[in-house]
Amino acid sequence: MAGPLLEFETEMFLNLFSSDGLLLTAEGLGIDRILLQFLRVYSEEGSLVLLLNTTTAEQEYFIEQLRTEGVSHLPRIITNEVSSSERYSVYTQGGVLFVTSRILVVDFLTDRIPANLITGILVYKAHKIIESCQEAFILRLYRQKNKTGFIKAFTDNAVAFSSGFCQVERVMRNLFVKKLFLWPRFHVAVNSFLERHKPDVVELHVSLTPAMTAIQSSVLDIMNACLKELKRYNPALEVEELSLENALGRCFEKMIRHYLDPLWHQLGMKTKSLVQDLKILRTLLQYLTQYDCVTFLNLLESLRTSEKAFGQNSGWLFLDSSTSMFVNSRARVYHIPDSKTGTKTKAGEKRIQGEKEPEGKRELVLEVNPKWEALSDVLKEIERENKNTEDGPGRVLICASDDRTCAQLREYVTRGAEALLTRLYSRTFGKNEAPPELSKDRRAVSKGRGKGKSDKGPQAKKSRKQTGGKQGGELTLTQMLGKLEEKETEEREESKEEIESSMEEKEELLLNLPSDSYYGILKEPLTVIHPLLGCSDPYSLTRVLHEVEPRYVVLYDAELSFVRQLEVYKASRPGKPLRVYFLIYGGSVEEQRYLTALRREKEAFEHLIREKASMVVPEEREGREDTNLDLIRDPTPANASTDTRKAGGQQAKTEPARVIVDMREFRSELPALLHRRGLDIEPVTLEVGDYILSPDICVERKSVSDLIGSLNSGRLYTQCLSMSRFYRRPVLLIEFDPAKPFSLTARSDFRQEISANDITSKLTLLTLHFPRLRLLWCPSPHATAELFELLKRKQPQPDASAAMAITADSDTVPESSDLYSPGPQDLLLRMPGVNAKNCRALMNGAGSLAELVNMSQEQLAELLGNATNARLLYEFIHTSSTQAAPKGKKEWKGKR
């Protein structure tokens, strides 16, 4: 399927094959094809190559491609299903291996993998390799033990290197590579080759309707006002990235959270509301160009209803632009004629003012999406060309952004715009109304338009379970704030049943395609609709493209990576025709978003070219010699003074510091940072604790989310109880995300009294119950690593076998029970009338449970200091089960 490499791809491969480095290409230029070529070369028993940073879907795709090409020694996937005893034999068999990062780290630390036999390591999506990630830890361990193997990295995300100080240089330092290979789209070799094999491109700039243009202007005005307010309330956010142009891009939310997350607990409700409003407004812009008029109006009305009900908005609903947006949105769907003059009212004014509309008086307008009409024209043109061609009818692939859009397009092509919009209206606004009438203009337009291609060939039913459609129902504020994605999923499921039920009489079209997300329309010529984004398999569209081999591709939505993929696809099939219809709204937000993505990538490559020209790379960067400082595990600063009074400053040889780490902790970045600071890591499976720093110090590490979950489930109590029994110094480490605020709760959430649902209250009770438990608060994993190093100073080294042997049946430390047996103590605490305050006095007065049973009620009252507790305990001990009265049950229930 992949085919031979193109000219510029061959040059890329040879450059990276001859020397280690980082290959950075433009998005969509086929970085996976280059990686596949390396996998072909090293898929043999004589080499051992590890591929890092891949997902399960990517691994399956690569293996499938190699199997198709007849590679005999296919790559193997090593997960936790492969036992530790079997992994060594798998390593020695050679070939390419996909190994999870956690397993690979453990095998390097325990020498289970023969590091000297590794031919090299391939790193996919190299822009994600930061200093503290597992892949960087693996590369450092690999380079410490293997000085001859290669390291080759791949990525196609140039924009990721445009933020931060010397980002590409830091990534190259973590990768231990010296060379950077840049291949933008404007590279001479790439541009000249693709120009010689470019497809026939037809750009159709579709005009927005006047109402859509007015709505778009209103939304942009509101977004601009929200951005100004956001900067006014937060002067520190005066940065170039927070512009209206960037607010249209997909990465805007990630960008603004990057700036605000560290301060989120200090921000006022106004700022948080503005951030959420920007997200909602971006969703409105997407719905405006992506879906139909009924879908857009339903979302808008539901948002307004939610905002009015709860009164939580930043004020944008009361702007003039908001009023204009509602008026034009309703005018696209319906109008209400004046009963006296027969003319329509000022659209939407009655609803804005809160007056009730007269029922049954609406005349439907149901404005058709302009792109639908353009798509019909394109399909008719393709049909005419197929009739006149001598090579037989050409196949058609239609690509839209998401699953819902594909479902709407399928229904439009097969049933027509009028049926689709009427069904959507009936599901939302027309549930409790009499069947509305089409306006005269709308009836004339619908008669002239027809149903697209509904009378051509067999009709299609969706061939898989996924489908899309119009959203229904009202949004609540909770859904609006955080669950728009969940709502869309539910709407797609509801719409699936209606679409399929409305098309039961149609012939089902099942196509044998390697994807579960396509929508079939026609068998002859084969016409398929496929989403660009949101597929469970990221390579499903690539598979469909090579399986269908379309002569015509209709890009209903613009996607930069797929446009480049089509260029490579055409160049790899010279002589075979390919026509691409590019539908885009002229002068719209959609066009601006696409152009902004192009500009950002171009600027990112220009920045990287300048940075590469001035980059100073040390000769020892690759770590093939012992001079690379990044491989030295000595945390001592360079300006540290040496005491020359002790044998002329000679250092006495000491045993290396060692930390025992639970296997499950290798999902975090802390073990990598500890190893970097010179601490030896010994991975074992622990039942008690996560980190053993010394025979007496046991640490249980919790992230904030894990802490809240453990407190709510009661699991943390059990963990602290185990640590307190088997270690003299139990420690609870609460570790924060460095990108998030170093605050457990916001200042506004502090309470004066203890509450059962409050996290700080639960932590307070935990420390009261375990007096020896110590809490450590760390703002980041780097701070945790430094703190661990300080705690280990002048401490004996822990024993891994002893730590592994600690179970529930192990002997407890004397401090855990203060010379009392924990078993009877637990039993005593569960008796009525006994609590943590009087338990100690009771154990001092009664040497055993037998002595306790023989005590009178007066003696118990003297020890417990409370007559009621003494009576409860005495009756619990001396009342038989047959004598138990309801009164006793009631008192026991009240005690609990």
Query: How far is the C-alpha of 140 from the C-alpha of 138, rounded, in Å?
Result: 5
The residue ranking higher by pLDDT, 631 or 610, is 610
Residue partners of 223: CB distance under 8 A and separation at least 6: 244, 247, 278, 281, 282
Q: What percent of the chain has a predicted confidence (pLDDT) above 70?
A: 77
User: Is the model's pLDDT at 355 over the cut of 60?
Assistant: no
pLDDT band at 438 (very low <50, low <70, confident <90, very high): low
Q: State the pLDDT at residue 13.
A: 93
Query: How far is the C-alpha of 250 from the C-alpha of 229, rounded, in Å?
Result: 21
User: Is the model's pLDDT at 11 over the cut of 90?
Assistant: yes
Minimal CA–CA distance to 317: which of 214, 226, 216? 226
84 contacts 114 by C-beta, under 8 angstroms: no
Q: What percent of the chain has a predicted confidence (pLDDT) above 90?
A: 16
Query: How far is the C-alpha of 146 from the C-alpha of 91, rounded, in Å?
Result: 15
Q: State the pLDDT at residue 17.
A: 93
- CB pairs under 8 A, 24+ apart, for 877-885? 877/831, 877/852, 877/853
Minimal CA–CA distance to 146: which of 266, 214, 48? 48
User: Is the model's pLDDT at 27 over the cut of 50?
Assistant: yes
Residue entry with tokens 């977004």: 223
Residue partners of 217: CB distance under 8 A and separation at least 6: 321
The identity of residue 298, as a single letter, is N
Give whole-number Cα distances, 565 to 34, 108, 194, 806, in Å: 14, 38, 11, 56
Q: Give phi and psi for 584, each to the nearest 5.
A: -155, 145
* Tokens of residue 448, six digits: 């002239």
* pLDDT mean over 134-149: 89
Beta bridge partners, 683, equal 661
Residue entry with tokens 């661990």: 788
How large is the angle between the packed helices 589-614 and 560-571, nearest 10 degrees?
70
The residue ranking higher by pLDDT, 231 or 21, is 21
Return the DSSP state at 344: B
The identity of residue 687, as a single letter, is E
pLDDT band at 310 (very low <50, low <70, confident <90, very high): very low
pLDDT band at 440 (very low <50, low <70, confident <90, very high): low
> Which of 32-36, 343-347, 861-865 is predicted with the least confidence, judged by mean pLDDT?
343-347
pLDDT in tens, 273-299: 888 888 888 888 888 888 888 888 888
Of the spans 216-230, 503-517, 628-642, which averages the highest pLDDT? 216-230
Q: Considering the entire predicted model, what is its pTM?
A: 0.77
Q: For 424, what's the count of Cα atoms within 13 Å in the CB-facing half-sphere?
A: 30
Return the DSSP state at 227: H
* pLDDT mean over 213-228: 88
Q: State the pLDDT at residue 404.
A: 87
164 contacts 611 by C-beta, under 8 angstroms: no
- Indicate the SS3 state at residue 525: coil
> Which of 48-52, 454-458, 560-564, 631-635 is predicted with the least confidence, judged by mean pLDDT?
454-458
Q: Based on C-alpha coordinates, what's the Rg of the chain?
A: 34
Query: How far is the C-alpha of 505 from the C-alpha of 491, rounded, in Å?
Result: 23
Residue entry with tokens 């060594």: 88
Q: State the pLDDT at residue 240.
A: 67
SS (H, E, C) 233-294: HCHHHCCCCCCHHHHCCCCHHHHHHHHHHHHHHHCCHHHHHHHHHHHHHHHHHHHHHHCCHH
Residue entry with tokens 């569960």: 830
